[in-house]
Structure 1
Amino acid sequence: MSKATKDALNSLHGALAEKLADAIDEMSHETKGLAAILNVARQFLKDNNIEATAAPGSHMANLANKVAEFPFDPERDAPLN
């Protein structure tokens, strides 16, 4: 099996950031699963070392702005098992 190219991985990375931002846009505050989507977005940002403002207008900046709209409290927002 061949390895993915850097361009393919960059494209996948951008698509994931865009889809996460879109998913957050489409969910209301009461939507079941919102906390899970926000947690995925939070981890995605953390994994990509996003600790400061991303380039204005970029998918990463849009995602960071969406995540900031919904504060996450792990004790309150964690899914119940």
Structure 2
Amino acid sequence: MAASKEALNALHTAIAEKLTESIEAMPAGEKGLAAILNVARQFVKDNGIEALPSPGSPMSKLTNKLSEYPFDPQGDSIN
């Protein structure tokens, strides 16, 4: 028996809300935060959410911070 569209929508909403609550409630540096952020990242990716950084936005701040750590795909690898 397949789940109804309404049930799946409710589950989707509950997951998004719980992830948001968990991230907001967890202090930076708390053990487990990285795992929750990774689940949230995958949830956003799986739902086709993309963002372009606009000046002053959190995405822009993250982009600027990441640019301080250049990545060389030829030299940087995880083995």
TM-score, normalised on structure 1? Answer: 0.62
Structure 1 residues not aligned, in runs of 5+: 54-64, 74-81
Aligned to 1:24: 23
CA offset at residue 34 of structure 1?
0.3
SS of the equivalent of 2:35 reads helix
| Structure 2 letter corresponding to 1:48 | N
CA offset at residue 8 of structure 1?
0.2
- Percent identity, please: 59
CA offset at residue 30 of structure 1?
1.6
| Structure 2 letter corresponding to 1:46 | K
Give the paired residue count: 56
Query: C-alpha root-mean-square deviation of aligned residues, in Å?
Result: 2.1
Deviation by residue 1:28-68 (Cα, 9 ceiling, x = unmatched)? 01210000000000000000000138xxxxxxxxxxx7xx6
Give the distance between the partners of 2:19 and 2:44, measured in 1 at CA: 11
Query: Which one scores higher on RCO, CA 8 angstroms, separation ≥ 6?
Result: 1
Moved over 3 A (4+): none
Give the distance between the partners of 2:9 and 2:15, measured in 1 at CA: 10
Structure 2 residues not aligned, in runs of 5+: 53-57, 67-79
Give the distance between the partners of 1:20 and 1:47, measured in 2 at CA: 14
